[in-house]
Structure 1
Amino acid sequence: MQLTAVRLATLLGGISLPVVASHAAISQNEGAEDTHVEEIIVSSRPFQEQSTDVAQAISIVADEALDRLRTRTLGETLDSLPGISQTYFGPAVSRPIIRGLGGDRIRVLIGGIGSIDASSTSVDHAVAIDPETADKIEILRGPATLLFGNNAVGGAVNVFDGRIPSTAPEDGFEGRLHAHYGTNGDELNGSAGFTAMVTDTIAFHADFNALDRGDLEIPGFAESDALRALEDDHDHDHDDHDDDHGHDEEHGDEEMEGTVENTDLRRLSGAGGFSWIGENGFLGFSVSFFDTEYGLPGHDHDHGHDEEGEDHDDDHDEDHGHDHEGEEEVMIDLEQIRFDLMGEFRGDFGIFEKTKIRFGYADYEHSELEGGEIGTTFTNEGWEGRIEMVQKTYGGLNGAIGVQVRNRDFSALGEEAFVPPNDTTQYGVFALETYETGMWRFEAGARLELQDISSDELAFDESYTGISLSAATIARLGNGWQVAVNGYRTERAPNAEELLSNGPHLATGLFELGDPTLEEETALGFDIRLAKTEGPVTGSVSFFYTDYEDFIFQNLTGEEDDDLPIAAFQATDARFWGVEVEMGWRTWQDGDRSFDVTATADWVRAEDTDNDLDLPRIPPLSATVGGIFQSRLIDAHVELTYTDEQDRVAPFELITDDFFALAAGITVHPMGPNGPLHLFAEGRNLLDEEIRFHTSFLKDQVPAPGLDVRFGARYTF
């Protein structure tokens, strides 16, 4: 599409109109002339803080805002927040990307502990988190290394699911029921959960969630215009080649249109657990399961000819033990059993007043089924624990120290085992201190982390040491205005996939090649944020800049192995910088009725500075403008997002077209806004546009869902 005057006007409007920061709810005082953003407590930090006390850019979604955003995957749920995009590997798989960084640079957490799955290993592996279980999600944009380890150099997404109760429910019992139907893929989703006090001090929690949907429905062809044009050129060259050699061979599969085959999804998840809740703290545990089966779209194992149209030697496949012919439909069968422990104790421990403990263990396995038979099995048995000691407050000084240990025993067995079995152990110690005086708030932190990666199969055993530092200042200027400046130096050790990969990975259509000589990557950067937290207009503007030394990324070499393009993990110097805008404007309020205008915008640029090239899969400029109406009986919202084309592409990448995405919804509260019953209808991609995410490995094979309208109900008690 071309950038018309209307699109340009919408884009500029999205940048200039204000929106509610972090999709936070605006407090409503009947008859009040002024408004302010609710005080939201940040749970990801060791000590009790409001979001306005955190120098790092943070988004918190909960309650009605989370209900509006919630969908099938974590990446899709958070995609509309500024600075956040998604990996999108079909409707079943999507992991968050923060400021252009994804994979092993973004930690996905459950209450501060990793999801302990294989989602950071490959983009076709689902995150073992059901968004339906989330009570609150906190997104830390920018390095979260100090608190969560070197794998959080790009940020962290922390999901709080309430499966371990920390406080007694009001009246001793609370629960929820949810069900909806979606027209795209005949989606059916239902969930139920409750927490009950079984004694004066013992709470029990249980929940169960189920999702079933068919194949993805799209507005046009599955393949993009750019890819189809490239294939037409290739086919023309192939035909000329056949003519020269006296051949007239039929080739090529029938193009998919309207529906993307093999994108169905079934998912079950649930949990049960107990907590002891006392006057000075709590201690609880839970057992949960996550079970899903989904199709992998875009799989084409028929590599019968190369780019020049020449036949491949059949002995080549035999040498590698592969027979890709006819193995187009691939399903993933994923299972995880997880055990969690959480506790918090308040008391006098010398200079400390609170101790927080968190531990999680998970046994994860998923099998890639090819024609109903297991082709490759991935397993990940892992555990992670952390202890935080929170200091007593002396004057304006506050702080915490902590210890974190993490282990991952990972293996991939089968014909597509592109990485050998390996074991990773990380040890981290950290300290975070804050000091507040008058209008100023200062913060400093440090973390020392040791990481060991070993593989008996390759006789590989390497250790890495990383030191991360940060310092920040917040200046409160009055009338709700504040400026935050955050500087950091972080180190990330390479992971097992970057070091040891050596094999075909058909999910991404690549032959992945690691480099065992890779060393730690170092990032040096800062971000500046101007925010307004009070009054009818609230929001923030952020600028961030990071220089990387030895930045590790997958580089397409232009060569092939096993009939697949080689993507080699290499290190280069790189630079990331960008802008995020997030504001809101209470334009009208009359008693309990109000109307807010919202807008966000984000843009990131990422360059390989060694070779003066753009880095791959970087999200383009995006802007959203919308409105939210709230009243006692009806809430309604509408959002229009414009995403620009991405023409700053890496070698062997195709340009991605721009698009509009329109969403709207209405919620009816027949028993009042605080009543138990809520009926809703919402539509996504109401313009039925062809939407492709430049951040996706499948962007040219599988677009985002077309028009989708959902009808459902939520009941709380």
Structure 2
Amino acid sequence: MRRALLLFATVLLAPIAATTGSAATLAGKVHGIVTDSAGVALPNATVIVAELGRATTTDAEGKFTIRGVPVGDYHLSVMLLGYAPGHLVVRVPAEDSEVLATIRLTATPLRLTAMVVAASPTGTESDRLTQAALELSGRSLSRALGSSVAASLAGEPGVSQRYSGPVATMPVIRGLTGDRILILQDGERAGDLASSAADHGISVDPLAAQRLEVVRGPATLLYGNSALGGVVNVVSNDIPTAVPGHFEGYVATQGETVTPGGAFSAGGTMAVGDRSAVSVRAGLRELGGLRTGGGTTLSGTDSRALNATVGYGLIGERANAGLALRVYDFEYGIPSAPGDPRAGVRLNGRRVGLSGKGGVQLRSRRISYLRVEGTVQDFAQDEIEPGGEVGTSFSLKTQTLNAQATTGFGRVKGALGVQGLFKQYAASGEEALTPGANSVGLGIFLFQEIALSRLRDHDSGTQLQIGARWDRYAISSDAGNAKCGPAQTSAFNNFSGSLGASVRLSDAFSLSGSLASAFRAPTVEELHSNGVHAANGSYDVGNPSLRAERSLGAELIARLRSGRVSAQVAAYSNAISNYVTTDFLSDTIVDGTPMPLARFVQANASLRGVEGSIETRVGEAWVASLSGDLVRGALADGGGPLPFLPPARIGGGLRWELARRFVATDIRHGFKQDRVTGGVDAATAAYTLVNVSAGQQWLVGNVLHRMTLRVDNLADARYFDAASRIKRFAANPGRNVSLIYQLQF
């Protein structure tokens, strides 16, 4: 607790103290108006300054104000339903400047990706990134919104989901999941156990998200350990970073027939004086048993979750700081095979987190802005046996502390950062298969973008991105669990680097390529397990001699953005040395029942794939789309395929869309997957899904109403997805009628 208090004192007091005695020196102010192409003001548009991690919305007159902007160039990104994202580079020339910006948005039925904050610390536009990234917000998010973060993203190219029921899900990015994918909430690690086992879920409700961001491919450079395969960032902006000119809020409800029940979420942000703001948010999700294709109800899959957040932001002329307190309480059941003696196991737990952010303008033009962020999180989870007794209790305490400086040297701009990660993990109970462990991670990174040529002012025609990072990660096990052996410490040091280039060949077409290395330290489960792992159906034995995974990834991306076409195609290769996997040696007898004996081992592995999507206007309001993805992964030297790889997929759709309404249909086909390891990773047949949706939005006063009706798996097909962990005994969800109603004001 003492360390937690010191951490937040550093986060909050440092930027405030930096402003002492400098009241006479004011930072710049960026204000302006967002309009459509005819000059009509647009309310409720989101305005983001990625370099500063700041965001606000326009008022009823389309106006916005962001105070305390340091000297320098900044990317403004603007998003609003029914309009192409707007981008504008503004320059704050002096500390007391006022910059007036007018941003015009163009109505379009095409889906265009806005800024992906998680992909770059410099506010790079999405079509200039050297990695493939995607962003869901507004109508695109409403059309995809599911009961979990993973379900909401599973239809995107290159993204599927690890599935163990409607709650226990995890995104799969280019064939990788679990501890190789990093889940963020407002840019900070979500301190739960979703990555540790297939029966654990993400403790974030997607209904509260303003945006979902995904970085596909290695992201160790910016985030360190556990980002070897990619990053998912759930953006809810719980800490106010601008003083709103009006009360900003939302109310959202969601109902689904495939898991009878519903969800509710509401929140708002209001000014407290001229320099501060308060935000509040709360939500509830209660679902019944899952209905699979063909009409079967999967018993034991009902769930309940409550979440609440309160945030406070102090916004000065030269500095800003804020806090957010989050609580997420959950309970859900785990599906089980017929005859399984553990049928009826339930998980309940709670995550409580305190996040702090602070930023201060520096007087140097070379290092213009310093941002400090930290979190203290306490996660606890119990596995309740069918008889009501607690089988295993988990505890995970997580603290993070990050500092990042914005740098600029002419055409070279970027960031320099230091990051700290501290975790204390404990598992107790008769079925605990690991000892407790403490982990410490330290990292230093440098990320720079170099404008080599320009098509026009502030718009780089050719851009180079380079980065380097050093990490040290140590994990020390406890001696409390005798069956897991004596206490041990494993330490890993790693140097990572990246090199990428983006070439804009015209206003509409660009090419990007990158080469990046990444790493992942083994987990406590991989190092020290010794017991039955019910979620995997095996008796797991850890390997204290495991080394860190290291990967080298290469990627090539082509992007086309015009008034009639939006397209992106990416090809990639990821070679991973020391890939951690399980070797099923033989069966062992547990309580008189045979069970596979699985030992964690290492081998070199590779993943290669291609993914892409295209949308084209075939009429004034008609859009045709096509998307698909393919990933192949295998161990070296004929070691066989990697487990639970998603199948190749292809899909197409037709959409009629105006600014206020849309009707859409799409067909998605998953090919058979027979590249499997056998056993629990069984082969799956091909399947085809038909989905339809429609939506309407309207303005009543200053309140925007949005309603989305969606029917997934219209034909109620009974299918089994290759990435599902329960595919041996349970089909994927059947026909689902989903209704989402949202208010924004």
SS in 2 for 1:151: coil
Query: C-alpha deviations, 1:660-687, integer Å up to 9, x for none?
Result: 1222221122438995222332111111
Partner in structure 2 of residue 431 of structure 1: 446
| Match runs of 1:9-28 below 5 Å | 27=84
Tell me, yes or no, if structure 1 residue 455 matches structure 2 residue 482.
no
2:160 to 82, 85, 96: 85
2:298 aligned residue: 260
Q: How does 1:487-636 map to 2 (within 5 A)?
A: 487-562=515-590, 563-589=594-620, 594-636=621-663
> Match of 2:392, SS?
strand
TM superposition shift of 1:365: 0.5
Rounded Cα–Cα distance in structure 1 between residues aligned with 2:614 and 2:218: 23
Equivalence for 1:351: 366
* Match of residue 211 from structure 1: 285
2:726 and 2:85 mapped to 1: Cα distance?
Answer: 44
Q: Describe the SS at the equivalent of 2:569.
A: strand
Pairing partner for 2:172 from 97, 100, 103: 97
5+ long unaligned stretches in structure 2: 1-78, 87-103, 454-460, 480-485
Equivalent residue, structure 2, for 1:657: 685
Is the contact between residue 194 and residue 206 of structure 1 (CA under 8 Å) also seen in structure 2? yes
Contact preservation (8 Å) 1:35, 1:534: no
**Contact preservation (8 Å) 2:109, 2:658:** no
The whole-number CA distance in structure 2 between the counterparts of 1:673 and 1:541 is: 42
Aligned length: 631
- Alpha-carbon distance between aligned partners in 1 of 2:493 and 2:595, rounded to the nearest angstrom: 35
2 CA distance for matches of 1:616 and 1:564? 19
- Which of 253, 270, 277 is residue 315 of structure 2 equivalent to? 277
Unaligned runs of 5+ in 1: 1-21, 221-256, 303-325
The 2-side partners of 1:603 and 1:28 are apart by: 29
Indicate yes or no: 2:440 matched with 1:440: no
| Kept in 2: contact 1:37–1:534 (CA 8 A) | no
Q: Does 1:60 align with 2:141?
A: no
Counterpart amino acid of 1:638? T
With over 3 angstroms needed to count, the CA separation of the structure-2 counterparts of 1:417 and 1:543, relative to structure 1, is same
Q: What is residue 3 of structure 1 aligned with on the other side? A: none
Give the TM-score normalised by structure 2. 0.81
Residue identity (%): 27
Match of 1:408 in 2: 423
Distance 1:32 1:487, change over 3 A: closer
Asked if structure 2 preserves the Cα contact closer than 8 Å seen for 1:547 and 1:575, the reply is yes
Task: Verify: 1:362 aligned to 2:393, yes or no.
Answer: no
Please report how far the alpha carbon of residue 167 of structure 1 lies from its aligned counterpart in structure 2 after TM superposition. Answer: 1.8
Change (3 A) 1:73 1:479: same
CA distance in 1, matches of 2:507, 2:131: 21
Contact 1:511 1:561 in 2 (8 A): no
Shift of 1:595: 2.0
Post-superposition Cα deviations, 1:379-405, rounded to whole Å, max 9, x if no partner, equal 10111121110112x332111110010
Residues 212-254 of structure 1, C-alpha deviation per residue, up to 9 Å, x if partnerless?
111111234xxxxxxxxxxxxxxxxxxxxxxxxxxxxxxxxxx
Q: 1:674 to 1:38 in 2, by over 3 A?
A: farther
Say whether 1:378 aligns with 2:394: yes
How far apart, in 1, do the equivalents of 2:232 and 2:171 lie? 8
Partner of 1:12: none
1:482 maps to 510
Deviates more, 1:398-407 or 1:491-500: 491-500
Q: TM-score w.r.t. structure 1 length?
A: 0.84
C-alpha distance after superposition, 1:4-46 (max 9, x if no partner): xxxxxxxxxxxxxxxxxx9996539999899987572232222
Structure 2 distance, partners of 1:588, 1:511, is 58
State the Cα distance separating 1:338 from its structure 2 match.
0.7
CA contact (8 A) 2:83 2:107 kept: no
Matched, 1:125 2:200: yes
Offset of residue 374 of structure 1? 1.2
Residue from 156, 167, 188 that aligns with 2:262: 188
Contact kept in structure 2, 1:300 and 1:327, CA below 8 Å: no
Q: Distance in 1 between matches of 2:608 and 2:154?
A: 19
**Structure 2 contact 360–371 (Cα < 8 Å) conserved:** yes
Partner of 1:396: 411
Distance 1:546 1:110, change over 3 A: same
Residue 350 of structure 1 deviates from its aligned partner by 5.7
Quote how far apart the aligned CAs of 1:343 are: 2.4
Aligned equivalents of 1:260 and 1:297: distance in 2? 7
Distance change (3 Å), C-alpha of 1:530 and 1:38: closer
Write the distance in 2 (CA, Å) between the matches of 1:38 and 1:654. 37
Deviation at 1:137, TM superposition (A): 1.6
Amino acid at match of 2:718: E
Closer, same or farther in 2 for the Cα pair 1:25/1:528, shift >3 Å?
A: farther
Residues in 2 aligned to 1:706 and 1:634: alpha-carbon distance in whole angstroms? 27
Post-superposition offset of 1:125? 0.9
- Matches of 1:528 and 1:432, distance apart in 2: 20
Q: CA deviation at 1:630?
A: 2.0
**Other-structure match for 2:665:** 638
How far apart in 2 are the matches of 1:674 and 1:584?
Answer: 32
Give the CA deviation at 1:444: 0.8
| Matched ranges for 1:282-293 at <5 A | 282-293=320-331
Q: Supply the distance in 1 between the matched residues of 2:373 and 2:85 (Cα, whole angstroms).
A: 36
**Equivalent pair of 1:163/1:286 in contact (CA under 8 Å):** yes
Alpha-carbon distance between aligned partners in 2 of 1:674 and 1:574, rounded to the nearest angstrom: 55
Letter in 2 for 1:609: A
Out of 643-652 and 464-473, give the one that drifted further.
643-652
For residue 373 of structure 1, what is the amino acid of its counterpart? Answer: E
Cα separation, partners in 2 of 1:628 and 1:487, compared to 1, 3 Å: same
What SS does structure 2 have at the residue aligned with 1:41?
A: coil
The aligned residue for residue 666 of structure 1 is 694
